[in-house]
Amino acid sequence: MNVLVIGSGGREHSIIKKLTVSKQVDKIYAAPGNGGIAQEATCIDIKESQIEELVTFAKENNIDWTIVGPEVPLIAGIVNAFQVEGLNIFGPTKEAALIEGSKDFAKSIMKKYDIPTADYQTFTNIEEAKQYIESKGAPIVIKADGLAAGKGVVVATTVQEALAAVEMMLVDNQFGDAGSRVVIEEFLDGKEFSLMAFVNGEKVYPLMPARDHKRAYDHDKGPNTGGMGAYSPVPDLKQADLDYAVEHILIPTAKGMKSEGRSFTGVLYAGLIETTNGPKVIEFNARLGDPETQVILPLLKNDLLQVIMDVTNGKNPDLDWEQGYCIGTVVASKGYPGSYQKEVTLPSLREDSNCFIIHAGTGADKEGRYYSTGGRVLLVGSLQKDQQLAQKNIYDYLRVFDEDDKFFYRSDIGFNNSK
């Protein structure tokens, strides 16, 4: 079969790597892809937001399946557009993707269907928002309602910081329409983890749990990023908490979405936190997480395309997992998540049987040399039976970046290092 993967990041490269080992896949296209993806798929110059052009490409190139990586085209209705043309596509419709597109909507679903999450209120009026903050005190969490490229959440440790955050969103309009409504919620303390599942209507098939490291620097210091690394499984996560999350969060959410006339097909991502009262939801996403995907898919024994077809057809994919540990460390451009230099040539990336490389923000020149195009440049991962060995393999490999001050990475990605 011919498969089209939409997106240009590490998540999409990880999906493509999995598809390359499928005996059912003949040709893989990526739109638009990146420098590393181009080694394993045919990259086409169509942006993920150009839905009409993507539909036309799929029809003209006999694409059997399209897999959508990022959230923006999902929320814009790419699945609806493909379905109108009778094309196979994996992901939620625009209506179902609203669970990521609006934090207020997601919160209302959780409230209606008794899904455990932080207490909250939603505001559009700045004075009412400030009064609420002053009545609640700090720490407190301020979230832009819509998509803000992962930057629309402020965990305020003081009331003044919280007041400044709502001012930035509601008055200064820093996030545009995404911040024209804010969700203010209680601060939850505990260890975070990610739990994703393949979903079709009320049917839910959980993936392995993962934990990512969001802070830029070692020991969880520095600004929040899109994720500086991740690992799976999560050894300190109790099976009882995992079972609770499936039974009381994932399944009720899938059923609730169906009851609302927004039946979900695709991957539902739950960002969760372990509290003294059990796991609670921090956020929902409507697609595979990044960088969690990069450490979960290597553990999956199944043919990914077959899983997608089974889930779409209402069949149990019988997910089968490797017994081992997968860790991935992100190499980022110096300055990320703030401003950073682009088009910096990367050091030579050697082949290593103990590691794998997932490209995120890279391009390639005519000589095949890679250069940076984004903040998170690539991820170096290792899958081993022993977690310490996986960490050692990664950090042995990453020495190639130590002489270049244009890039940085955390030296503590892995177990028991992350909150």
Phi, psi of 362 (to 5 degrees): -130, 155
pTM of this prediction exceeds 0.85: yes
pLDDT tens-place string over residues 190-224: 999 999 999 999 999 999 999 999 999 999 999 88
Supply the pLDDT for residue 223: 87
Cβ neighbours of residue 79 closer than 8 Å, sequence gap 6 or more: 68, 89, 91, 92, 93, 94, 97, 266
* Residue (of 256, 248, 267, 250) closest to 198 by Cα position: 267
Residue 38, pLDDT > 90, answer: yes
Residue 234, pLDDT > 70, answer: yes
Rounded CA-CA distance 407/331 in Å is 7
Residue 418, pLDDT > 70, answer: no
Q: How would residue 419 be classed by pLDDT, with cut points 50, 70 and 90?
A: very low
Residue 152, pLDDT > 80, answer: yes
Cβ neighbours of residue 171 closer than 8 Å, sequence gap 6 or more: 126
Residue 151, pLDDT > 90, answer: no
Q: Which CATH number fits domain 2-95: 3.40.50.10330, 2.70.180.20, 3.40.50.300, 3.40.50.20?
A: 3.40.50.20
Could you tell me what percentage of the chain is helix, strand and coil, using 3-state DSSP and rounding each to the nearest 5? 35, 30, 40
Question: Contact, 102 vs 145, CB < 8 A?
Answer: yes
What is the mean pLDDT of the segment spanning 242-265? Answer: 98
Q: Which CATH number fits domain 191-312: 3.30.470.20, 3.90.79.10, 3.30.420.140, 3.30.420.40?
A: 3.30.470.20
Supply the pLDDT for residue 150: 67
pLDDT tens-place string over residues 270-281: 999 999 999 999
pLDDT tens-place string over residues 311-337: 999 999 999 999 999 999 999 999 999
Supply the pLDDT for residue 172: 87
- CATH 3.90.600.10 assigned to 325-408: yes
Question: Contact, 41 vs 29, CB < 8 A?
Answer: yes
pLDDT tens-place string over residues 377-403: 999 999 999 999 999 999 999 999 998
Supply the pLDDT for residue 179: 83
Fold of domain 125-180: Dna Ligase; domain 1 (3.30.1490)
Residue boundaries of the structural domains of the chain: 2-95, 125-180, 191-312, 325-408
Tokens of 151: 């930057």
pLDDT tens-place string over residues 397-410: 999 999 888 999 99
What is the mean pLDDT of the segment spanning 214-239? Answer: 93
Rounded CA-CA distance 408/401 in Å is 8
Supply the pLDDT for residue 327: 98
Supply the pLDDT for residue 416: 56
Tell the residue number behind the tokens 């609203």, with chain if given.
98
Rounded CA-CA distance 119/280 in Å is 11
Rounded CA-CA distance 167/366 in Å is 47
Residue 417, pLDDT > 90, answer: no
Residue 4, pLDDT > 70, answer: yes
Residue 352, pLDDT > 80, answer: yes
Tokens of 132: 């609420």
Percentage, residues of the chain above pLDDT 90:
90
- Grouping H, G, I as helix, E, B as strand and the rest as coil, residue 164 is helix
Supply the pLDDT for residue 178: 80
Torsional sign, CA 329, 307, 200, 279: negative
